Amino acid sequence: MAQIVISSEHIHGAFDKTVAPAAHAHSGDTAVFHCVDCYCGALHTDRMARSDMKVSIANPATGPLYIEEAKAGDILKVEILDIRPDTKGCMSARPGIGAYEIEPAVCRVFAVDPDAMTADFDGLTVALKPMIGVIGTAPAGDPVNTETPAEHGGNMDIKDMNAGNILYLPVEVDGALLSMGDIHGVQGDGETLICALEMNGTVTVRVTVLKDRADIPTPMIESPTHYMTTAAAPSLDDCSILAARKMHRFLMAHTGLDNPHAGMLLSLKGDLRISQIVNPNKGCIMAFPKDVIEIDFKA
């Protein structure tokens, strides 16, 4: 299969069906996306003044990639094959943003060793677990900015968006128009400061179009050990219920469990998590372990 490369010249600030494709692919192709950090390179010097940051595009996404076989109503399977981080990462803490009472604003740049997969946090060695913060397809309706997560994907900021995992996204317009960016060297659940270890990076994915798979509750993540349904909503209360109910329906569709028993099993073994609390829509995940019950998901 062919490999496509999309450079960081092709960045944009919204998931939008009118954005011209940066490249074309076929189902089964591998694509490499060169991604820019969430500040679009504006945080470039350690301890620079926040007022000196001139962000041209917030959370820029590289793309979009047009997949020839993708038609509205399909599912796009995105296998995350590799994420290569840059040699530095940056963070910005500022008053009134995130979960903490920050004072004063501080902008930092930290050295990263991409071979050892570690960052130097002022003498503390922090292990990296690179992930994609922003990834999605174009919505059929109005554009959605790259700071907001929704049913098309977008700024999901889920720490499980790592190499070795699979993301299932809806196809709402022909071609799917896949874009991604906002690489994080490492992030905890919640992304509580509003940023992670933000960096440039290169992502390699394989894209496959799935037909007639309404049984997949997108956006959904599959890891070697778990299935994860995701949701985004203005309130965490609504978001948590949406994520849990997606997994409930998924279990009923793939295990033969009836409604009450699927709910019982999820209450025993499902993990309802907050993925982020800082975006315009909050994010939640319901994770279910693969070793509990056999799910015939591939059929």
CATH of the domain at 252: 3.10.28.20
What is residue 299's predicted lDDT score, i.e. its pLDDT? 57
Coil, strand or helix at 50: helix
How large is the average pLDDT for residues 102-125? 97
DSSP 230-274: EEEESSHHHHHHHHHHHHHHHHHHHH---HHHHHHHHHHH-EEEE
Same domain for 224 and 206: no
Same domain for 261 and 164: no
Q: pLDDT tens digit string along 231-249? A: 999 999 999 999 999 999 9
Question: Which pLDDT band holds residue 37 (cuts at 50, 70, 90)?
Answer: very high
**Residue 297 covered by a domain:** no
pTM above 0.95, yes or no: yes
How large is the average pLDDT for residues 28-50? 97
Parallel, antiparallel, or unpaired for β 23-25 and 61-67? Answer: parallel
- What amino acid occupies position 74? D
Same domain for 184 and 79: yes
C-alpha 75/C-alpha 77 separation (Å) is 6
Is 1 a residue whose pLDDT tops 70?
A: no
Same domain for 119 and 238: no
Instruction: Please count the structural domains in the chain.
Output: 2
More confident residue, 296 or 180: 180
Coil, strand or helix at 51: helix
The CATH number of whichever domain residue 161 belongs to comes to 2.60.120.580
Q: pLDDT tens digit string along 155-178? A: 999 999 999 999 999 999 999 999
**Residue 296 covered by a domain:** no
What is residue 2's predicted lDDT score, i.e. its pLDDT? 58
What is residue 228's predicted lDDT score, i.e. its pLDDT? 98
How large is the average pLDDT for residues 40-55? 96
How large is the average pLDDT for residues 179-200? 98
Same domain for 230 and 163: no
Q: Which of 117, 142, 257 is nearest to 199 (CA)?
A: 117
Q: Which of 58, 117, 126 is nearest to 83 (CA)?
A: 117
Class of residue 126 by CB neighbours under 10 A (exposed 0-12, middle 13-18, buried 19+)? middle
DSSP 8-class letter at 224:
S
Same domain for 151 and 27: yes
What is residue 238's predicted lDDT score, i.e. its pLDDT? 98
What is residue 293's predicted lDDT score, i.e. its pLDDT? 87
Range of the domain at 237: 220-289
What is residue 269's predicted lDDT score, i.e. its pLDDT? 98
Domain end, chosen from 174, 192, 210, is at: 210
Question: Which pLDDT band holds residue 31 (cuts at 50, 70, 90)?
Answer: very high
Domain end, chosen from 210, 242, 274, is at: 210
Domain end, chosen from 210, 242, 261, is at: 210
Same domain for 50 and 81: yes
Same domain for 248 and 139: no
What is residue 298's predicted lDDT score, i.e. its pLDDT? 72
Same domain for 43 and 86: yes
